Structures are given as C-alpha cells and as structure tokens.
Amino acid sequence: MSQLVGKAKALVDKMIVAARPQLEEFWKYAKVELTPPMPADFKNLKKTAEQAKDMKGQLKKSGLTQVTISEAWLNVLVTVEVITWFYMGEVIGRRHFVGYKV
C-alpha cells in the first residue's frame, strides 16, 4: 500500500511540473483580460459607440442598405457556394467524409 501511495505522489508531482508552464501562461493572460473595467475604459466605450452611430448614418446615406430582393438572393447563393467549396476542400484534405482516420 505504501508503494501505491508513493507512486501516486510521484505521479502528481510529475503532473504539477508538466502543467506549470501552461498555468503560468494562463495566469499571465487572466490578470490582463479578466480585470474589471476601469473608468477610462467606459470613456473609450462611449467614443466607440458614437463612432459606430456615425458609421450607421453614413451607411444609410451611401445607399448600401438599399438592396433589392434579387441582389439579396444572389448574395445568399454566393455565400452558400463559398461555404460548400470550403467544406468540400476540408473533405478532400481529410480524404474521408467524417473525421480524420487516426
């Protein structure tokens, strides 16, 4: 029984050593990305929202929001074609329809 406990302890130590670099990287990014917003961040957000509102007004003036039914249908068909070719390329690259042969 003591051998089993010793082996388990050695295994846990090895796992901690193996996981340490990944955890350090996680904490490095977590300290930056998961901090609560500061007052300066809200000012930047307000500026960005105002710029987005201005862009929306410019789009209406440019006429890009006025699309006919036939143009919209053509855009849908082109999008479906591009997606289909993407998936067919994936199938060709895998040389198998479902998943990779491992």
Which stretch of DSSP H or E encloses residue 3? helix 2-33
Asked if 73 contacts 81 with a C-beta cutoff of 8 angstroms, the reply is no
Domain extent listing, the chain = 67-102
Q: What is the pLDDT along the chain (102 residues), one digit of tens a residue?
A: 778 888 999 998 898 888 888 889 999 999 888 888 888 889 999 999 888 888 877 767 666 667 889 999 999 999 999 999 998 998 888 877 777 666
91: number of Cβ within 10 Å: 11
pLDDT at 68 (0 to 100): 87
How far is residue 22's CA from residue 27's CA, in Å, rounded to a whole number?
A: 9
The model carries a pTM of 0.37
Q: Which helix (H) or strand (E) holds 40?
A: helix 39-62
Which pLDDT does position 76 carry in this prediction? 95
CA atoms within 13 A on the CB side of 30: 6
